[in-house]
Every structure is written in structure tokens, then in C-alpha cells.
Structure 1
Amino acid sequence: MTINSIGLDTQKTKALALDLNNLLANFQIYYQNLRGIHWNIKGKRFFDLHVKFEELYTDANLKIDAIAERLLTLGETPLHTFEDYTKNAQVPVGKNISQDEKAVTLIVDSLFELLKIERSILAKSDAANDEGTNAMMSDFITEQEKTVWMMKAWLSETV
């Protein structure tokens, strides 16, 4: 077994890096969706949603940076081209969405995909004894579950 500079099995961290890069690609699409709905939202709820979408894309941008830095900490290279992002993402792409309910539904659907990926990474990082990635995924999951609850409440749906 080969150990990297932070004491983790390099085979396990290489496998985790593939999943983290997949998460990074999905977050980049999610981020761009948020920018698009922030710019294009219309209607009576414009002021509230415009601010909320900015809050969400600012948070997504911070998470993107954290994921990329975690990849570097593990000794791997983060994806960094739009081609890589679109090729690897499962998050739905939102185009020309200006209606409030469609925008919020896109967020809920995107978070659903991100949560699936994060839970998978959490299980693998636990098995690799990678507390840094574990903590990051736990934090992301906790925040995003709350966001899903709030968005579904806004849509007047049950959780």
C-alpha cells in the first residue's frame, strides 16, 4: 500500500478523486444554472428570488473552490474545462428559465443529483479514512437537505 503526503492510501484517494471531479463538474453546471435563473427570473417574486439565487450561486462558487482544493490536497488535478464539466455532469441543464416555479424546481432537481453523488463520496471517504473529504461531504449534505426542504416548502410540496 502506498501512502500519500497526508497519510491516506493513494489507491483509495485516486478513486475518491474521480468521484470528487464528478461532483466538481456537477457543481459547475449547478452554479451556471443558478447564474442563469438569477439573470433571467421575471415576475412578481423577482426581488426575493433574484437575491436568493445570488445567495445560492455565491455558496455554490465557494463549494466549487473547496472541492477543487480538496482534489489538490489529495494529490490530484481538478477538472477545469467546460468540456469536462458537460461530459461528466448529471445535473439537469436549465436554459432560458425565467418562470419562478420552473427555476425553483431546477434547483431541487439539481440538489437531488448533487446529494446522490455526495452520499456516495461520503461512504467511500469513510472507507478510506479520509476525514477531510468526509467532513466536507457531511457539511454539504446538511446544508443542501435544508435548502431542498425550503425550496419544496416554497413550492408548497411535502418533503
Structure 2
Amino acid sequence: MAKRQATEIKGQAGRVLEQDLNRELSNMQVLYVKLHNYHWFVKGTHFFSLHEKFEELYNNTKTYIDDYAEQMLAIQVKPLATMKEYLANATIEEASGTEEEEEMVETLAADLQAVSNQLLEMVDGLEEQNALSLADAVQDIARDYQKEGWMLRSYLGRD
């Protein structure tokens, strides 16, 4: 069966949902840049494994961002599209470029869990607006970020 997709979100609930959607798009964009930072600047005994993992994560995040923004457009929600807007709306912080490898992994695990939780909080609203394809995509991203966060915590011996 084909997925149903709303043509637009409506009303006050739709306006709140639009803000939430852009907040999470902003989080993913900040995360994408942070992952590049970590990929480029990781040093230490785990360089090879972390360098590769950070690249995998930023490639996945790139795919999520594109699909997510296109699905926003499909329901007539204008995605933010500047770094200034992303930084103003994100709830996660960008990297400083000075983190040690363990701090990178800790921060990233916490960021992935936070973004996952916030994405999942939007699912009911998306379903109420009949934006089912976007609700499915949001759940898939949240699931993947939860798993990656768990893997990073396990890497640190904390799960």
C-alpha cells in the first residue's frame, strides 16, 4: 500500500510542528558539520576506527537531511537553509575543534540520543496532520540515531 502524505500541515498545531521540524533539521545540520569536525580532528589510539565511524555517520546524516527536507517541502513546510538559521534553532552545540577522542564520542552519543528523542516527540503530531511518510522517515532516523548512540556508549564501556 502506498504511504499517504499530507499536502500541507494546518492550524496552530501545524505551525508548532513546522518549528519543531526546522529545529530537528537544524540539529541534523549542526550534527553533520560536527561529524566532519570530529572526522578531521580526531587523534589518538582510536584514530582509525573513529575516523571511519565519523565518516559513516556524516554520510548517513547527509542522506537523512536531504530526504527530511524534501519531505518537509512535500507538505509545504519551508526548511531552513542557512547556517545562521541552523545555529539559531538547533538544540545541540557545534564542535569546538579541541575535543579529545573520548569527549567526541561522549558528546556525539548524547547528541544522537537527544535528537532521537526530539524526533520521536514529533511523530504523533505528524500523524495527526496525516504526514505519514514524514512520520515514518522521522521514526527511521530516530531509530538509527538511537542505535548509533548505544554503539558509541558501548564503545566507551558505558552501556
Aligned to 1:51: 52
Residues 36-75 of structure 1 mapped to structure 2, 5 A cutoff: 36-75=37-76
Cα distance, 1:15–1:132 mapped onto 2, change above 3 Å: farther
Q: Note if contact 2:9-2:76 (Cα within 8 Å) is conserved in structure 1.
A: no
For 1:7 and 1:75, the matched residues in 2 are separated by: 7
Residue 117 (structure 1) shift = 1.6
Ranges in structure 2 where 5+ consecutive residues have no aligned partner: none
More RCO (CA 8 Å, sep 6+): 2
Aligned to 1:125: 126
Cα distance, 1:38–1:10 mapped onto 2, change above 3 Å: same
Any idea what the Cα deviations from partners look like across 1:80-110, whole Å, max 9, x if unmatched?
A: 1111011101112221145221111121121
Percent of residue pairs bearing the same amino acid type: 28
Deviates more, 1:88-97 or 1:149-158: 88-97
User: Which amino acid in the other structure matches residue 47 of structure 1?
Assistant: F
Aligned length: 154
Q: Note if contact 1:25-1:86 (Cα within 8 Å) is conserved in structure 2.
A: yes
Aligned-pair RMSD on alpha carbons? 1.7
State the TM-score, normalized to the length of structure 1: 0.89
Residue 7 (structure 1) shift = 4.8
Aligned to 2:24: 23
User: Which amino acid in the other structure matches residue 87 of structure 1?
Assistant: A
Q: Note if contact 1:97-1:103 (Cα within 8 Å) is conserved in structure 2.
A: no
Residue 127 (structure 1) shift = 2.3
3-state SS of paired residue (2:92): coil
3-state SS of paired residue (2:69): helix
Ranges in structure 1 where 5+ consecutive residues have no aligned partner: none
3-state SS of paired residue (2:157): coil
